[in-house]
Structure 1
Amino acid sequence: MAQKPTKRMEYVLFNVTYEDGSQRSNRRVPLDALGGLEKDGPARAIIEAQDREVAEKSGKAALAIKALERAGGR
């Protein structure tokens, strides 16, 4: 019996620069969360939420985002 195809989640990759000068590459944001009038605006909120979750688990404070840019020039 053939397997049912699963929904494929597509992502956009972002390079993030933080206020302290550190950088993180290829942060994933779901493609369906982007677009519309805000374009890449929702990506900041999604990445900040990811950072808060990681900070909570590690016990370290989350860093403030200085700049976001799409990775790969797409």
Structure 2
Amino acid sequence: MARKPGTRAEFVLFDVFYEDGSQRSNRRVPSSVLGGLDGDEPARAVVEAQDQDIAEKSGMPAIPIKSLRRATK
């Protein structure tokens, strides 16, 4: 039996470039926080919060973000 389509959160994927030269691809940011006058700038706060959670769990310090770019498919 086929599943009923549920409400699905829409995400935008970003490539994140860090100050140490490393890169992480396809970081998910909810599309609800993007747009408006700020454009993609709110994505930085979301990714920084994700990085902070990862840093706390791993015991390693978070690396500062140099830039963000929407991922291309």
TM-score by length of 2: 0.91
Counterpart CA distance in 2 for 1:41 and 1:8 is 23
* Runs ≥4 residues deviating over 2 A: 3-6
Counterpart CA distance in 1 for 2:29 and 2:67 is 15
In the alignment, does 2:59 pair up with 1:59?
yes
Q: Give the counterpart letter for 1:64 in structure 2.
A: P
> Residue 22 of structure 1 aligns with which residue?
22
In the alignment, does 2:32 pair up with 1:32?
yes
Q: Summarize deviations over 1:26-72 as a string: whole Å, max 9, x none.
A: 00000111001001010000000000000000000000000100001
Q: CA RMSD in A?
A: 1.6
> Residue 48 of structure 1 aligns with which residue?
48
In the comparison of the two structures, how many residue pairs are matched? 72
Counterpart CA distance in 2 for 1:8 and 1:26 is 18
Aligned identity (percent) is 63
TM-score by length of 1: 0.90
Structure 2 gap segments, 5+ residues each: none
Q: Give the counterpart letter for 2:10 in structure 1.
A: E
Counterpart CA distance in 2 for 1:25 and 1:64 is 16
> Residue 72 of structure 2 aligns with which residue?
72
